[in-house]
Each structure stands twice: as structure tokens, then as C-alpha cells.
Amino acid sequence: MSVALENRLEVLRSHPRFRPETVERFARFLANASDDALFRTSPLHFASDEGVPENEAIDLFLRATHAGILEFTWGVLCPGCGSFLTTPAALRSLQRERDCQMCRVSIRAEDDNMEVAFSVAPSVRRTRFHQPEGLDLRRDLLALMFSQSRTISDDIRKTVSESVLDSISLPPGGVHRFTAKLEAGKAYFLAVPLHHVWCELPAVADRGTSSVEAELIDGRLLPGHVEVRAGEVTVTLHNRTPATARVALVKFWFTQEQMSCDTNGPPSMHLRRYLSGKRLVTHQTFRELFRAESIPSEGGLEFKSLTVLFTDLKGSTELYERIGDLRAYGLVREHFSVLRDIIAERGGSMVKTIGDAVMASFAEPTPALEAATAMTREVRRVARDGAQLQLKVGMHTGPCIAVELNERLDYFGQTVNVASRVQGVAAADEIAITEPVYSAPGAQDIIRAAALNATRERALLKGVEGETTVYRLR
């Protein structure tokens, strides 16, 4: 183990969040795993393989990134082929739509098709992926093009390896001529896998050209499609970018029917659980350590589904009057600390405090509901000077927009409004939730485990059209 890695691991060992055995498993993983396993991997894979709780693994990977052990990469996943469409400047430059040239579809960046992957930092351990110009595309084409959350069978890997006819590293301003004999009825492509761009070259018997001129420019390969005549074909590529590009001439390993973009994906490929952009953005550690990973400036970031939770203290004004400002403020600060820990332990994040109230976000409803039951229980223990704190909690699940506001991540939309209004109807020591939360998978188990009784009612919420179904949990 390198000295640089050992020094950085001490930062993780000293953190109270992590069990010693978790950090040691992580250390062995970094020291012994293959180059492939350390390239664009997922904390959820590590959690599954090492028997570590998912939230602990996510926290570990984020703090390891902050310590310089790992680096993360954002990508939009094609739901059909599993291509990992990278976003070079991370979240702040995330485009609303990306094109999967392999599947010939445009993919909107939303919720769960944004994957956040992690690679080992070169200062800790150098792998071949830190020098992409030297990669062997017969071995590495799949790793560069696809998400590592796609498991690919050995027979497909062998087929792809045999499909690479030629590959080169083309320096900035460089020109290279590929020459190959192409079969009629087969499809070929000139690929720059790290940029996820290529020019498709279908070969036909009685028409098409035998000489193709292509350019790599502005993250695109032009033209994107050229019909060529079967037989000997030359493809001349000009690299008009400021970086060295690893390029390959490849024979299509799937038929067009197999490559049709659907949720089943190509044959022999299956999707493992991965860390979604939504789950990362709603994680407390990400929020605290990576403020610079700002939301795209134009229109923010859309989430199809997010759970927003609001809390408020019952009778806080009277509390200040009864025990004095200083003592009451100390209790309120302590209650904020308790809520923050509960939220973080369940994978959520504290968005902001508003007076004595808290706004929090969660990727899914059930962790939010678990947090709410723990909050109402634990906040009662924050009691001094005869003061008893009682919490009112409300939550709702639905679409919303994440934006950067005052250099912090915040959320806007009707989901936020409904969650706030639902909290307003809750009584002391009560959790008020909407139908999407109540009917979420696992919600009933949480309600039963907390020995709560649910009362259903229809409520008129300010600023919300019509009546809203609200469940009061006590």
C-alpha cells in the first residue's frame, strides 16, 4: 500500500461514521482490486460485495473522494444499451438531453438514469485508465463505452474483442488512414469510445463509397453515417480536438434488431444497482462536502420523484418566553443536530432551517418516513429546564426542480409547497403524509413497526387546488 493511500485512509479511520472493518475492507479493495474494478465503480457494488450498508458505503466513497482517494464521474445511462454518456465537467454542465448514437435515440437526463461512478485517483494508485491514449481497445472498449453497472457475459466480451479490426492513438491535429476489407451486409463503425461518438459504416454490395473522410471535432465525429461499398475501404480521420483520441475501427457485434433501444438492453447484459444522481444529490455528505458541484444554471435539474419533509417545533414561541432566549436557543440548536443526524443516517439531507423548522430531502419515501418516526421519538429526549419539545412533521412525494440558490442546493415546485402545507396541518407529535408516501412500498411496515395509527382525511391546503388526501400518524 502506498504512503499516499495510507495517509489518506487515516482520515477515514478517524471519522466516527465508519466502522474500522469497513475502512479496512475499503483499503484492501483499493490495494488488491483489478484496474477494471477501480474504474467507474459504484459504492452500491462495494456495499453488496463487501456486506456494508449502502448509506455507509456512499458516505465512505464521498469522504474518500474529498480526501483525494477517489474521483467521481457523472454520466447519463442509455436504458437500452447501457452506454455511460459522460459529463466531463460533472453536474454543473449536465445537459438536459444526450444522444446515444448506438441506439439512435435522445435521452433526457432525469432521476434514475444519471449514474455517479467512482475511480481511484492517480495519486493513490495508477491504473491503465489514467493513460487512455495507451489503452488496448480490444480489451477496454466495453469499459470505456458502457456503465460498469452493466454485467456483460464472457462470450460477448470475446466477440467484442474479436470485432476490433484496428485501433490507434491519434494526437491533436493528427491524421490516420484505416484500411480494411468490409463484408457486404455487415455494419462497421469508427469509434472514439471515451467520447462515446462514432461514424456508422454499413457495407453494401452494389453502391456506396470506398473512401471516407471523417473529423473528430467539438465532441462529435462527422459524418455520423456513411454507406460504403463492400470490399477494400479506406477511412481517413482528422483529429481536430486539443487532446489525444483513442480510435478504433470495429465490426458491429450485434445485429440491428438486437441493438434496438429498449429497457431489456442488448443480449447478455444485465443492470446492477447503481448510485443515481438523485440519491447522491439528496445525501447529506455530498451536500456538505461538494458545494462546488453546482446544479446546471439553466432551468436547474428536474426530478420526476423526490420526497420532501418539513418539521416544526410546537410552541417554540412560548418556549423562548418561558425559559429565556439563550436557553431556548440552545435547545433548538440541539434539536437541529439530532434531526440532522437522523436525516443523514437514512440517506437524506437537511436542505435548510427556517426559524425553528427544517426542510429535508430524500430520494425515496420510505427512508423519509423512517426518519420522521425517529425524529418524533428522539426529539422528546432533548429536554432541559422543564422544557418538553414536540415535533410536527409533514411530507410529500412528487416531481420538483433542484436549483442553486445562495450557493446551496434548494428545491422548488408544487411538491415542496404541498409538503410544507401538509406539515402545517400536523399536530404536536404527529406525522402528516400524503397518499404517495402512504402507499409507497414498505411504508406500511414502517408504520406498523413504529406502532402508529393512521387516520385518513381530506384537507384543503393553501395554494393547492382541490382537496388533498392526508394521513395523520400518531
Report pLDDT digits (tens) over 403-459.
877 777 889 999 999 999 999 999 999 999 999 999 999 999 999 999 999 999 999
Asked if residue 384 has pLDDT above 70, the reply is no
3-131 and 286-473 in the same fold: no
Q: 223: cis peptide before it, omega within 30°?
A: yes
Q: Tens digits of per-residue pLDDT, 165-222?
A: 999 999 999 999 999 999 998 989 999 988 888 899 999 998 999 999 999 998 789 9
Q: 212 has which bridge partners?
A: 235
Asked if residue 291 has pLDDT above 80, the reply is no
**Residue 340 and residue 61: Cα distance in Å, rounded?**
20
- Of residues 82 and 392, more confidence is placed in 392
Domain ranges of the chain: 3-131, 159-270, 286-473
Determine the distance from the C-alpha atom of residue 394 to the mean position of all C-alpha atoms in its chain, rounded to a whole number.
26
DSSP string for residues in 234-295: EEEEEE-SSS-EEEEEEE-SS-TTTTS--TT-STTEEEPP--BHHHHHT-HHHHHH-TTSPP
Q: What is the pTM of this model?
A: 0.87
CA distances from 366 to 54, 260, 370 (A): 15, 35, 6
In terms of CATH architecture, what is 286-473?
A: 2-Layer Sandwich (3.30)
pLDDT of residue 56: 95
**Residue 267 and residue 35: Cα distance in Å, rounded?**
25
C-alpha grid cell, residue 455: 387516520
Cα four-point dihedral sign 259, 153, 143, 71: positive
Mean of per-residue pLDDT scores for the chain:
87
The DSSP symbol for 379 reads G
Q: Tens digits of per-residue pLDDT, 116-140?
A: 999 999 999 999 999 988 899 999 9
Q: Tens digits of per-residue pLDDT, 243-264?
A: 899 999 999 876 544 444 444 4
pLDDT of residue 231: 95
Identify the CATH number of the domain defined by range 3-131: 1.10.10
pLDDT of residue 261: 43
Assign 296 a pLDDT band (cuts: 50, 70, 90).
low
pLDDT of residue 33: 96
**Residue 153 and residue 84: Cα distance in Å, rounded?**
18
